[in-house]
Structures are given as C-alpha cells and as structure tokens.
Amino acid sequence: MATLERLEGNKAKLTITIDAETFRKALNEAYKKTAGRYAVQGFRKGKAPRRIIETYYGEGVFYEDAFDACWGDAYDAAIDEHELFAVDRPDVDIEKISEAEGVVFNAVVQLKPEVTLGEYKGIAVPKADYTVSDEDVDKALETERENQARFVDVDRPAEDGDRVLLDYSGSVDGEKFDGGTAEDQTLVLGSHTFIPGFEEQLVGIKAGESRDVNVTFPTEYHAEHLAGKAAVFACTVKAVQKKELPEINDELIGDISEFETVDAWKADKKAKMLEEKKQYMDNMRENLAVKGACDNAQVDIPDCMIERQIDYMMQDLKYRLQGSGLDMDTYMKYLNTTEADMRKNYRTEAEARVKMQLVIDAIAKAENVQATDEDIEEEIRKYAENSGTDVETFRAQLSQGDREYLADRVAVDKTVKLIVDAAVETEPEKAAE
C-alpha cells in the first residue's frame, strides 16, 4: 500500500507500508543469513537463537538487513500501482519500523519528464537528390589514378607538387627542441603538411643543397612550449622527385580492380556512388526531420538523465579505445585533458540525445505507435540472418527482456519514419535556413 504526493521538479514522494507479516518474514531471513556475524557467550558463532542475539545487540539488530531485503519489492509495487516512470534510484528514509507494526518508509524519486510537443509533422527537409553525374565518376577515377602515382628523381629545382627527401634540424633562440629533428623525411611541396610557410621556402631548392627555413609556430600549436615561437630549420635536400601519373586505360583498370575495361569500372563505381548518396541523403533528411521535431518540443530534463547519458558515452569511448589498444588514462594524457573536462564537453551532446529519446517516445505515445507481432518477427529474422543463426534457434534464445528491446527498437524506427514521411521537401538552401 502506498500514497503518492507530487513534488516540484517532476519528482514524486511515495509513502509505502510494508505489513508486519512481510517484515517478520524478512527478519527471519535476515537472521538466517547474518547470525554468524554476532558472537554470543555460550553459543557457537551463528548458532545463537534470534531472540538471544536481539537481547545482546538490541531489538533492531536485524532491521537494516531485513529492510534492505524487502523494500525493493514494495517500492516496485508502488511504482506500478501509481503508474509512475522513475528515471533514477529513489532517496529512501524510514518513518517507523518494528516487528509488531511493520515498516512505513518514504521514497522520493525523479520521474520521467513530461514533453510538450510542438510541430513534428511538416518539418522542412531538403529535396532528395539521388543523382550522380559522369563528372563525379571521373573525379573518383582521377583519385584512383592519383593513388597509383609514382615519384621519380629529377635534376632540377624543386617545384610546387614535387616531393623532396630531406634532413632538417629545428631550433628556437638557438636551442634545438624535441621533435624538431628528422632524417630522410619525405615532403610533398604544397601539401600543407608542415608548419605554414615551411614548404614554400623549399621551392627552388635542388638536390644536395642546404637552406635555412624561418617559420613561426601557430599560436594554438599542440606543443604549448612552441606555440607562437619563431623557429629556424636547417634543411638539407637529398633528392627532388616529380610526380608521374599513369594513363587511364584498360590496363590500369585491370591492375587496380577486378574489371577489365574503364567503362565497366565506371558503371560499377556509379552504381556504388548512387547507393552511397542515397544513404547519405536519407540519413541527412532523417536527422534534420528529427532535429526539427526536437527543437519544436519543450522538456525539462532532469540532471540525472543527462549524467547517465554521459556515463554511457564515456563507457562507449572506453570500449572503442580498448579496441585500438589504448586506455582512457593514456588518451586523456595525450589530449591534455581530464575526465571532468571530458564530461563537461559531452554534456551538450548528451542533453540533445536524451531530449531526442524523450521526444520520440512522446510522439510514439501521441500517435499510438506500437510494434506488432509481425514487426518483432521481422526483427528476429534480420538479427538471425545477420548472426548466421537459424530463425527458430535465435527465437528460442530470446528472453522476455530481449523481445521488449526489439519492440522498443521497432517503435522508435516507426516513429522516426512517421516524422520523416510527414516532412516537407524544400530546395536545399531553404531547408538549411
């Protein structure tokens, strides 16, 4: 039995009663599990009767363990009774507790916030453009050609676009600095790989020549001790090489792909580019439509939901770093940041993600969007197919929680589709405004 009081900040206070019989059973269980903690003269540890232990240690010696064992079920029942959606653990305090009368306790809990929906139909999205021109395909082919370029030594001054092989040694105020020295370094002039102004000063140099290059490090350079400093690099060029591009013909296509002709490569590339563009356009339109619906909605998001989302994002980053052979501490040290700073930087994105989830849930409720049995079966088929498992076997392995997860995914997907299908196509520049 529980009474409900609505509080400010979208919180609720539940006053919950655990009857005497239920609490008495919890006390007996607590005694059985914890009696071994208490030493009583004349009894082996764990063998003293409950009443003897209570005489020695106080009547309420088992109250805490008994309450911990039974308050959760009573709280869950109260949440269900009043049809509440809690988004955080409750703050619990006990009003009264005794074996004879049971327990009365209060649970103050943060509730899922109410969303005030704005317009979510008719959001402006750019008109779908699923075209790929012959020029686009030619540019892709030119990129492949560039990838097959080779550099050959030339006996002439270096020009923009040439590659040079050089040794260099940098100094600031006459003192060499860490990371400022290298041998046999390759550099394509005009690639803007080095510090601004460095590459331009090597134009005109020949193999075997030396030259001092004077530059100033950017004020926001990653190495703070060099930021904004003037430096001199003593450079010696060992070789000057020009780029040679292969001719685009069937022979080149045969070397770089499974196709035998340029026309066959182009036809395949165009089909792939069309699919990529369609995917890009669909994703962009979906993101804009959902963002528009979220921007038009109002919701007061509790801090606990944002913090939990940041937790998820930090954990996701940790897993991705582990996949790359890094750990969080090394990553933070490399970026010269702290966990607190990272959480602060994640906050805006985390808030946007939570709001999107809440808005989509609210739209699904408003439109009565639900996953049908057929929808869930289709999801099961897809998951089974992707995992290479027989559908019947995959279905048999699913728990009720798994099915609820699939149902939630389907409902979200259907709601997003509803938003996108109701969007209004405009010219790209108008949608961007």
Is residue 259 in some structural domain?
no
* CA atoms of 67 and 18, how far apart (whole Å): 9
Region 70-78: what's the mean pLDDT? 95
* 96-117: burial string, b at 16+ Cβ within 10 Å, e else: ebebeebbebbbebbbbbebee
Do 286 and 200 fall within a single domain? no
Among 209, 244, 279, the domain-final residue is: 244
Do 381 and 346 fall within a single domain? yes
pLDDT at 428 over 80: no
Is residue 265 in some structural domain?
no
Q: pLDDT, tens digit, for every residue of 83-124?
A: 999 999 999 999 999 999 999 999 999 999 999 999 999 999
Share of the chain above pLDDT 70, in %: 99
pLDDT band of residue 364 (cuts 50, 70, 90) is: very high
What is residue 414's predicted lDDT score, i.e. its pLDDT?
95
Is residue 417 in some structural domain?
yes
Please count the CA atoms within 13 angstroms of the CA of 106 that sit on its side-chain side: 10
Is residue 231 in some structural domain?
yes
Q: What is the mean pLDDT of the chain?
A: 93
All residues at 6 or more sequence positions from 89 whose CB lies less than 8 Å from its CB, including other chains: 109
Is residue 144 in some structural domain?
no
Pull the structure tokens for residue 402.
Answer: 């798994």
Region 273-289: what's the mean pLDDT? 94
* CA atoms of 176 and 231, how far apart (whole Å): 9
Is residue 253 in some structural domain?
no
Report the number of distinct structural domains present in the chain.
3
Region 58-63: what's the mean pLDDT? 92
Region 41-49: what's the mean pLDDT? 86
pLDDT at 431 over 50: no
What is residue 432's predicted lDDT score, i.e. its pLDDT?
46
Q: What secondary structure does DSSP assign to 353-380, as a single string?
A: HHHHHHHHHHHHHHTT----HHHHHHHH
Region 243-267: what's the mean pLDDT? 94
| CATH code (residue 359) | 1.10.3120.10
Do 279 and 416 fall within a single domain? yes
Among 198, 227, 244, the domain-final residue is: 244
| CATH code (residue 240) | 3.10.50.40
Do 80 and 159 fall within a single domain? no
3-state secondary structure of 87: coil
What is residue 366's predicted lDDT score, i.e. its pLDDT?
95
Do 89 and 181 fall within a single domain? no
- For 344, the domain range is 270-432
Do 98 and 174 fall within a single domain? no
Q: What secondary structure does DSSP assign to 293-354, as a single string?
A: HHHT-B----HHHHHHHHHHHHHHHHHHHHHTT--HHHHHHHHT--HHHHHHHHHHHHHHHH
Do 316 and 420 fall within a single domain? yes
Do 42 and 87 fall within a single domain? yes
